[in-house]
C-alpha cells in the first residue's frame, strides 16, 4: 500500500484505540448496583404486577357491563 494513503489512517486508528481504552476503563469503574437500587427495582416490579392485576379486573368488569348492556338492548328490540 501507498504510505501516503496510510499516513492519515494512523491518527484515526490511534484515536479509536484511545477511545476504546477510555470506555473500557469507565465501564470497569462503574459501581455495582446497590442493595437499595435492587430493592427499589423489586418494589417497582411488584407495583407493576399489581397494576396489571387491577387492569385485568377492570377489563373483566367492562366486558361484563358490555354484555349486560348488549343483552338489555336485544331484549328491547325483541320486545319493542
Q: How many helices (H) and strands (E) does the chain have?
A: 3, 0
Q: Is residue 47 very low, low, confident or very high in pLDDT (cuts 50, 70, 90)? A: very high
Would you give the DSSP letter of residue 2? -
Maximum Cα–Cα distance for the chain, whole Å?
A: 95
pLDDT in the model for residue 38: 84
- Render pLDDT for 8-46 as a digit per residue (tens, 0 to 9): 777 788 888 989 999 898 888 877 767 788 889 999 999
- Quick check: pTM over 0.85? no
pLDDT at 68: 93
The b/e string for 13-46 (b: 16+ C-beta within 10 A; e otherwise) is eeeeeeeeeeeeeeeeeeeeeeeeeeeeeeeeee
Residue 15: per-residue pLDDT: 87
Amino acid at each position: 500500500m501507498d504510505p501516503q494513503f496510510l499516513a492519515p489512517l494512523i491518527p484515526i486508528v490511534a484515536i479509536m484505540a484511545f477511545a476504546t481504552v477510555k470506555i473500557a476503563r469507565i465501564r470497569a469503574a462503574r459501581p455495582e448496583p446497590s442493595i437499595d437500587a435492587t430493592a427499589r427495582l423489586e418494589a417497582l416490579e411488584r407495583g407493576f404486577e399489581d397494576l396489571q392485576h387491577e387492569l385485568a379486573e377492570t377489563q373483566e368488569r367492562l366486558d361484563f357491563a358490555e354484555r349486560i348492556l348488549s343483552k338489555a338492548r336485544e331484549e328491547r328490540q325483541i320486545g319493542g
